[in-house]
Structure 1
Amino acid sequence: MAVIANAKVETLPEPWSGAIRSGRHQLITDKPESFGGQDQGLAPYDLICSGLISCTMITLRMYAQHKGIDLGAFQVEADFCTNKEGREWIERRVHFQSPPDEALQHKVLDICSKTPVTKTLLRSLEINTQLV
């Protein structure tokens, strides 16, 4: 077994707020005011989207560097969506300052479908919980 990531959250005094620590980094998680939180930090589904888009950005930049391609400046966005039937999905968008040619656009889409976090989200993931 190899651990590739680790994070810990500790409750804060405000309802639904927590301090997340991962390595040397920390951030606040909370719920929006409309859900009774203080909106002091990212909500859990925002964190899922953040993981996906950061992995997408890093993977695209690594690919471009490896192939000697200049993708220029770009942004990646994601929306976590749900409907009345309970179906859930993520809409991801990559915006380039200077759009790549058609062949590279197809390659970018292919790479996006193969990022590590994308692959994790697309397959079943076992979650084991222990009380310690």
Structure 2
Amino acid sequence: MGIVATAKVQSLDTPWQGEIQHGKHVYLTDKPESFGGKDSGPAPYDFLVASLISCTMITLRMYAKHKDIDLGLFEVEAEFHANREGEEWIERRLNFKADMDEALKQKILAICQKTPVTKTLLRSVEIKTSLV
């Protein structure tokens, strides 16, 4: 497998702000006002949880299509937590409008643990940094 995703960020004159580009998609990143930013865009950990929940939603929809299951409209939300002891964790919640039996609920929970971004976050990822 080759490159899965690319992104570029250009720092802006306003402290903490940057312009992120993914192909034709362009948006701002910033820090919240409580951390000295202007809150003009998501902060880095916001992107991390957004990646997880968007991958979860897409994977569940792909599974449903493959199995011809109507999941209806649903929401996935996540929070990144950290404490003073250095522990970090993500809490992910799913909310389905459609009724489903217990077997399907358990299958959905199992699939969530196997989404590509979940699997990436659960294992160690090597990051190679260079100056160009």
Which TM bucket (shorter chain)? over 0.9
**Where does residue 26 of structure 1 map in the other structure?**
26
The offset of 1:84, in angstroms, is 1.6
CA distance in 1, matches of 2:15, 2:51: 24
CA distance in 1, matches of 2:16, 2:48: 17
| Secondary structure of the structure 1 residue equivalent to 2:26 | strand
| Secondary structure of the structure 1 residue equivalent to 2:46 | helix
CA distance in 2, matches of 1:28, 1:125: 25
CA distance in 1, matches of 2:75, 2:114: 18
Unaligned runs of 5+ in 2: none
Aligned residues: 132
Runs of 4+ aligned structure 1 residues displaced above 3 Å come to: none
Matches within 5 A, 1:70-81: 70-81=70-81
**Where does residue 45 of structure 2 map in the other structure?**
45
CA distance in 1, matches of 2:85, 2:50: 25
CA distance in 1, matches of 2:82, 2:105: 27
Matches within 5 A, 1:74-113: 74-113=74-113
User: Scaled by the length of structure 2, what TM-score is found?
Assistant: 0.98
| Secondary structure of the structure 2 residue equivalent to 1:65 | helix
Name the aligned partner's letter for residue 3 of structure 2.
Answer: V
Q: Deviations over 1:45-103 (max 9, x none)?
A: 00000000000000000000000000000000000001120100000000011232110
Name the aligned partner's letter for residue 121 of structure 1.
Answer: L
CA distance in 2, matches of 1:38, 1:99: 41
CA distance in 1, matches of 2:124, 2:74: 30
**Where does residue 61 of structure 2 map in the other structure?**
61
| Secondary structure of the structure 1 residue equivalent to 2:40 | coil
CA distance in 2, matches of 1:55, 1:11: 27
User: Scaled by the length of structure 1, what TM-score is found?
Assistant: 0.98
CA distance in 1, matches of 2:86, 2:100: 36
Unaligned runs of 5+ in 1: none
Matches within 5 A, 1:11-22: 11-22=11-22
CA RMSD between the two structures:
0.8
CA distance in 2, matches of 1:58, 1:87: 28
Name the aligned partner's letter for residue 45 of structure 1.
Answer: Y
The offset of 1:104, in angstroms, is 0.3
| Secondary structure of the structure 2 residue equivalent to 1:127 | coil
**Where does residue 7 of structure 1 map in the other structure?**
7
